[in-house]
Homo-oligomer: A and B are copies of this chain.
Amino acid sequence: MINNRAIDKTDWNASSIDETLSMVRDEVDKVLSASPRIIREYTAHLTKSTGKYIRGVSLLTCAIDKEGAIHKDAIRFAAAIELVHLATLVHDDVIDNAELRRGELSLQKKYGKRTAVICGDYLLCAALMLAGDASDKEEYLKFDMPKHLSRVVLGELQQHINNANFDLSVHRYLKIISGKTAALFEAAFYAGSILSETDQRIIRKYSNLGRYIGMIFQLTDDCMDFETTEHVAKKPVQSDYEQNVITLPLIHAFRTLAGFKEKAATSGLKREEINEAVRKAGGLIYTRSLAKKYYMKSLKILEELELSQEKHLRLSSILNSAYRVF
């Protein structure tokens, strides 16, 4: 039977959002550490280093309702979205042949690609099962995880197809990251907001805010690959190009420095040449200026949403984290 929404609302107060987040972490840990015995060794490896749960936090925050309470299904949804994120990372690492993930050996490096493909599939199932356990089935159906997930998958494919494509346009690049990264942020904001709002126009605003924040996050991440150290990023830096991933700072250098693209195509590029070209072209400044556009759009939505002070503060904090560095 479909549960009546009213039954399961207002279980937590928003002031205890940190406590709620720790319940999300517990849910994720339970899936990873208490998975069926046959797969436990592999999924348990993923508990060694956890992410920052920025998507989970986003979902919980959007789920804060007008009375300052959080629908209890927000915990399952947030855990599910973190598990989907983890599943895509596991498959990404297979696709990119990545050795490190969150400072630990990637699953594919430690156990092989075959195991990693299967584990990614299992994590997707686990995420869907967890969300499906929601007490409020109407909200679960509205959430429609497969739709969001398919956008993420298509974004991955777009990126993969455009590996080492020196002709990649800014427009197409933005479409790629809109799928690859922003779609899951959008899903988090959307799923949170359907638990706190009923007005479709308002839910649409939350979704857009999530997508913009996802764009900002990815563009900032692109810059970090040039700016930061492996120690800070907890993942390889100066590595996008080496993995044939052409990001915006480099795209900007390709389209502004005469002869640079041709050189890349004919004789390849050394790391120092890339860094020098991106510096000369102002690739990071350009990328950050685009991030700023999304930042300004986000601020506008934040004002339109007429949020409580608490919720406004928390969403601003997420936005600012994305804009600087998480």
Contacts and interface: CB of A to CB of B under 8 A. Distances in A.
Interface of A: 2, 36, 38-39, 91, 94-95, 113-115, 117-122, 124-126, 128-129, 132, 137-138, 140-141, 144-147, 149-150, 153-154, 156-158, 160-161
Contacts of A91: 117-118, 121
A161 B95 contact: no
B122 A154 contact: yes
Nearest to A161: B38
A214 to B, nearest CB: 18
A125 B150 contact: yes
Nearest to A37: B154
Contacts of A94: 113-114, 117
A154 B121 CA distance: 9
Nearest to A42: B157
Contact of A160 (B115, B128, B149): B115
Contacts of A132: 141, 144, 146
A95 B117 contact: yes
A24 to B, nearest CB: 19
A149 B125 contact: yes
20 contacts: A2-B2, A2-B138, A38-B154, A38-B161, A91-B121, A95-B117, A115-B157, A115-B160, A118-B156, A118-B157, A118-B160, A120-B121, A122-B154, A125-B147, A129-B147, A129-B150, A132-B141, A132-B146, A137-B141, A140-B141
